[in-house]
Amino acid sequence: MKVNAKKIVLKFLKWTGIFIAFILLLMFLIPLLFPGQVSEQVKKIANKSLAGELNFSKSKLSFFTHFPSLTVALDDFSLKGSAPYANDTLLAADQVAFGINLKRLIFDNEVKIDELYVSDAFINVMVNEKGEANYNVYVSEDKQPKDPNAEGPAIRLDRIDFENCHIKYNDLSAKMLVDAHGFNYVGKGDLSEDVFDLQTDANIDSIDFSYANTYYLQKKELHADLITRINTNALSFILQKNELKINKLPLEFTGVFTILADGYKIDIDAASENTTLQDLISVMPPEYLTWAEDTKIDGRADLLFRFKGRYNAANNQQPDLGFTLKVRDGGIVYKEAPAKLTDFQMDLAAFLPALDVEKLKINLKAFNFKLGDKDYFTAMLQTRGLSTMAVKAKVKGSLDLKMLDEAIGLPNMDLRGSLRADITANGDFNAEKKLFPKTKGGINLQKGWLKTDYYPNPITDITFVTNVINTNGTFQDLKVAITPASFVFEGNPVYVNATVSDFDDLFYDARIKGELNIGRIYKVFKQKGLDVTGYAKADLTLKGRQSYATTGQYSKLNNKGTIVLKDIKTTSELFPKPFFVNEGYFSFHNEKMNFDKFTAHYGKSDFAMNGYLLNTINYFLESHGTLSGNFNLKSKLINVDEFMALEEGENTDRKPEVEQVKEQNPKMSGVVAVPTNLNVSLIANADKVEYNGLVLDKLIGKVAVTKGKILLENTTFNIIDCNVGIDATYDDENAMAANFDAHFTAKDFNVKRAYNEIPLFHDLVTAAEKAEGIISVDYQIKGDLDGNMGPIYPSLKGGGTVSVRDVKVSGLKLFGGVSSKTGQKGLDNPNIKDINIKTTINNNVIYIDPFTFKVAVFRPTIKGTTSFDGLLDIKMRLGLPPGGLIGVPIVITGTHEDPKIKVFSKTGQKIEEAQYNEKTNTVIKEEKRENPAKDDSGKEVKKDKK
């Protein structure tokens, strides 16, 4: 029996080994038998089904890439998106693999794709402001009756597998950004059916979510276990079992999402009921998670999120968004703190109808807690609307800040002092209508003390007493008194006493005195990515009304004192780099803020100024205030390129929309942005100005900045050893577009150097390539500038005169061709003297008025048109001796590089003007074609049949 059992086991192992070896052999042989057919069929599917440009380096058929599935793998895969993002990548992956149905391949000799694998990929989904997306690359087949016996490729996806992918979804129309790293996804279901259930298991290592440039999730871990019923006929998704976990917070989703031709329809609820406050805090920003690990947090929370409605960008339809959060029986104690924050209650609801912030409703019914045996805090807030905001609020509390700091463990901070607050407000707020809620109350901080981990010394003796009262609900009745506010830092006391009232015509009475090492006090509040240094000292008395300055009643003002700044670094949202104030001495006298001494630099540029500003107090008090002033400015170098809006820089405070434009236009530097709240004139004297590769020496003139424009008046500079005079206007339209209007004169300059060194002259006077000598220019021209501050040639309009004093033309194909055709060798390299050439420019075409010059014994007269694209339609009358009384008509067409010379002909080449849209800075249509020319009487000249 033992022998038989042994034989049976050996025989079983033998046949099992043979079977496994046979299976392995098939796995090696099948890819060798079908490689060409499978590759061709996959290419056929791709070409038939995808409209975007698809590329990959190599393909391979194997069972072992995604064992045990037979897959064709495409390495270094890339797919570009659909219009308007046809040049941008939609998908780039180390490998994309398609699973092949083995049964259909062997028995039916047919390639059927039923699995999709994507690994180590970047999926970049983009939607522009109009709602146009880059993912519409799938070309659907016409719905025709199918022959059940027909063979051919098909996609039947039963499994979708993404491994370690980076997915970015940037929707400008919805102002939504989702950025997910470490995206791992497995979806199962018969995706070939019209209605099917998709089982999903997804894990994301880190996900960011922002709406309207505000982040609501950052670097959060996410796990999803979902069952979604998908109806491909209606393109709808029914969320049946949808369990998410964001860090430790569980969420359950239910609802329907339907994709429409012009947007989407959504009805989704997300809830996390009776969860712990500890799990809720796990979705806070990453910097708070370490704090949560050392903190004992009690309490329960309910979270509900609802998104319902229809989105249609064309009809301005957007869904409703609702959110509620309730916290009860909360308690917080950090490590072994002697006191505990207890009885924490929070009841918050927010509703945003049609995603319209003007209809926003916020209802914070309660935000309460106790601290120790005596201290407490309670608050409530209700708002409705935005431009006109209905407000009802109440804040009351008494807190020992040291006890609060210990209980909740404020990170990187040591806080002390006694804080009391009691404020109530009820009414409407509208800045334009001068409405302010009826308000009564104040805040009182005594014996304040603040120290952070970033600097060894604290801010001490902080006193802040403020009272607010408004009994009638208007700006006029609002009064705020700060009496006093003071602190001591590094042994230097700073005092502020201020009373402001009647915000309709603001009355202010303030005294500010003290000195600060700004660099050191900044370190107390250090923020990552910013670096602030400098010293400031102030001794100011400010008293008056806002209207005194605006109506010229300067004698009623009592503004006096001084401010001293040294080594200050400051940024502006308009510019990519920071400004450095090396030294600034300012004195106040009623309406004037005098710049007694001011030196600064920006990038490579430097500035030394003296002069004054008007309306400074009103400018800081009023959001739409305008600064006026007059200055003398000297500079060794002004680099205009560094001021361009999209230029690379360290400024982290630029407008979000500017950063967005920069991301969409990575090769553009942007135009120079001009502040709209300045009305300042400068007498400028700059040794050197650099702009777009040009170097302007000794720039002197009047420069005005007013209403967002730059005006140059009687300005001169030196370029290519020639003095140039210019009067001009510059106006930026947005970060990527600007316009200009300029009149410039230049006398007796070297035409060869101008052609080689000045791009605009190079394009306006193309014939100068073969010329040497001296000319002058008097020209008026206006037009638009592109995102690199270069001229958009179809937008240019203007005209003027080019005066030729003495120019030798050598090797110009136009004159060489005329000389060859007429047999007159004296015409090929003419020497031109003392003539004026008048031209006008419009929509990409240059019109040349008739001009006559002398070459040897001939009197050529030239007129016609040429374009910035190099096309020619020139008519020449070659006046023969004596005196040019008899002339030979010549027509020159073609291009500057390949001119076509026709003697005794009037048949030219009509050059169509470009149709330019000034509002969008785009060329609508630009055609160039051969048309019958017309003679001087207007009759059509027929072409020679030859």
Tokens read off for 64: 């072992």
Last residue of a domain, one of 199, 228, 246: 246
Alpha-carbon distance of 876 to 863, in angstroms, equals: 7
* CA quadruple 103, 109, 113, 119: dihedral sign: positive
Alpha-carbon distance of 702 to 692, in angstroms, equals: 22
Alpha-carbon distance of 823 to 891, in angstroms, equals: 16
Residue 316, pLDDT score? 84
Alpha-carbon distance of 81 to 91, in angstroms, equals: 8
Listed residue (562, 564, 560, 558) closest to 582, CA to CA? 564
DSSP category for residue 633: E
Listed residue (781, 850, 837) closest to 809, CA to CA? 837
- In one-letter notation, the amino acid at residue 330 is G
Count of structural domains, the chain: 2
Q: In residues, how long is the chain? A: 946
Is residue 604 included in any domain, yes or no?
Answer: no
Is residue 106 included in any domain, yes or no?
Answer: yes
Residue 529, pLDDT score? 45
Last residue of a domain, one of 219, 246, 273: 246
- In one-letter notation, the amino acid at residue 605 is S
Is residue 857 included in any domain, yes or no?
Answer: yes
Alpha-carbon distance of 742 to 730, in angstroms, equals: 9
Range of the domain at 875: 769-931
* Secondary structure of 255-281 in HEC code, one letter for each residue: EEEEEECCEEEEEEEEEEEEEEHHHHH
Is residue 215 included in any domain, yes or no?
Answer: yes
Alpha-carbon distance of 273 to 276, in angstroms, equals: 9
Is residue 921 included in any domain, yes or no?
Answer: yes
User: Hey, how many other C-beta atoms are within 10 angstroms of the C-beta on 471?
Assistant: 11
Mean pLDDT by 10 residues, the chain (946 residues): 64 61 51 52 61 76 61 83 84 85 56 78 87 73 43 55 90 84 82 71 85 74 78 70 77 81 83 86 70 84 90 85 92 86 94 90 95 93 94 95 89 88 95 91 93 83 93 91 87 88 87 81 57 79 84 85 86 72 89 89 90 79 74 90 60 48 56 80 90 84 88 89 90 84 89 80 69 88 85 89 85 73 73 88 90 82 86 85 80 84 77 70 50 40 35
Tokens read off for 529: 């990515």
Tokens read off for 736: 């990527």
Task: Find the radius of gyration of the CA atoms of the chain.
Answer: 38
Calculated CA dihedral for residues 87, 88, 93, 94, nearest 10 degrees: 60
Based on DSSP, count helices (H) and strands (E) in the chain, helices before strands.
13, 46
Alpha-carbon distance of 293 to 529, in angstroms, equals: 26
Is residue 447 included in any domain, yes or no?
Answer: no
Residue 938, pLDDT score? 38
45: enclosing H helix or E strand: helix 35-49
Is residue 127 included in any domain, yes or no?
Answer: yes
pTM exceeding the 0.95 threshold for the entire prediction: no
Alpha-carbon distance of 532 to 530, in angstroms, equals: 7
Is residue 741 included in any domain, yes or no?
Answer: no
* CA quadruple 794, 795, 801, 806: dihedral sign: negative
Listed residue (518, 514, 511) closest to 535, CA to CA? 518
Tell me how far apart the terminal alpha carbons of the chain are, to the nearest angstrom. Answer: 110
Q: 882 CB contacts (<8 Å, ≥6 apart)?
A: none
Beta partners for residue 290, in sequence order: none
Last residue of a domain, one of 246, 269, 302: 246
3-state secondary structure of 471: coil
